Structure 1
Amino acid sequence: MSDAGAAARAAIYDDGITACKGAFSAEWADTMREDIEKAFAEAIERPGGAVGRGPKRYYVEIHPEQMRGFVDLVTHPWVTAVCEAVLGPQYQIVELGFDIPFAGAVNQPWHRDFPMPEVTRTRRTLDSLAFNLTAVDTEEDMGPFEIAPGTQFDDSPEFEHGMFPPKSHYPRYEERAVRKYPKRGDISARSALTIHRGTRNESQQSRPVLVLGVDAPGGVNGEKHDTAVTRAYWETLPQQVRDHLHCPVVDVLTPITQKHTIEGLVMGEA
């Protein structure tokens, strides 16, 4: 295990999140934003292409070849070191997508992105990671991501759908809450079990954020996603990427209809 991987693993198990500042150039992130905006324009026009995650807030899943920097991202030394350290050498890339809170997006309720897996509940083993890359330099009025460090192992039968803690738990999260202000080119890695929320976007700008989802062998998050690649694209991929990209190889890509809806986020915080 590399030093970078070991440090990231310790941070994720302690706090639920870690980051690598300046992993890419601002220009690289600007190209990513172009790809995100193109994909959103296409997705919003078809049923199930973009799923609401609250008022003025959407999630869209895309195929790897819709992002010009995909290979750069999944072969970045910090990303691969974190994946290997937390998930093991046989980690699997299962998701590529993005969130966009637009002007007028409201506070989300505190939540995790899916119910706690049994391996986490019984063994305190994390079997998935979410990498996030901002497409803009985040400012206070843009609805920054807010996370409650150290809550990735919180577990209670009171959690609605295993994801939404009751409001009686909110003081714990508000006491721990940290807002994140990443810049273009930064990468964060977190357990999606760590309690978090998007906050109110009071600016007139959108705040697109790329999401890369990775599972350990046996993880089940891939069942919620429909990542695929064309044969022509597959042939261009380095073996390092093919080894970890477990998805169908097809002749023609089909636009993704979102499976991973989170009903509790649709209305925003009550």
Structure 2
Amino acid sequence: MTRIHSAAIIEAGASLDDTVQIGPYSVIGAHVRIGAYTTVGSHTIIEGHTTIGDNNRIGHFAALGGPPQDMKYAGESTRLKIGNRNTIREFTTINTGTTQDNGLTYIGDDNWIMAYVHIAHDCQIGNHIVFSSNSQIAGHVNVGDWAILGGMSGVHQFVRIGEHAFLGGASALVQDLPPYMVAASEKAQPRGVNIEGLRRRGFTADAISALRAAYRTLYKNSLSLDEAKAQLHELARRGGDGEVPVTILLRFIETATRSIIR
């Protein structure tokens, strides 16, 4: 049975699975859809055209599906979609998209979103990502699977963060952070390969060794970006366990629109 506290407000038109739990003083808007076994704490607002999947845990005082904080927004019908098994803690804010992009802010599955996180309009968030407390990302940001953002970090609009990357706490990221890499300091700078994270996720020693060679090529050998990309192509062609991650790294660099951190 749906367990909705008597002090919660569920607007007509909202669609909640029978197993959803809603805490006191929370407000669920008319265009909201919430899937099975999702729980919502107290004093949370979920509004707009928002779809939330199954088995999510949403904390107290969160604000999901509000209009984008973009001065060009003129009330268009845009969306927020959240997948399954996400934890979204207290005071998190996630906005819907804008028509200047594809109109959708997307959160994947199995993400851990800590307190006071802000995810702005049109962001595309993958799976198994950690957003530490007070991390803030601007509009149109893409974050790849298994990335970690440290506490009080900030990400500039239109920036991409690659899969398995790590952004240190209190860092400002204004260019793309390649997959598998660590960046840190006040203006985020490359600091090496995310070796510990890759080991925890089952990457082999050979794959990590190839990525360390790729890091040296990008950041330690005084090469231009074009020269580095040529050497990365050669490194990927060597095959072995490093071929796939180096190819993913190379593809990310070749498609960067804001350039990568250097």
TM range (shorter): under 0.3
Structure with greater proportional strand content: 2
Give the TM-score normalised by structure 2: 0.22
The structure that has the greater radius of gyration is 2
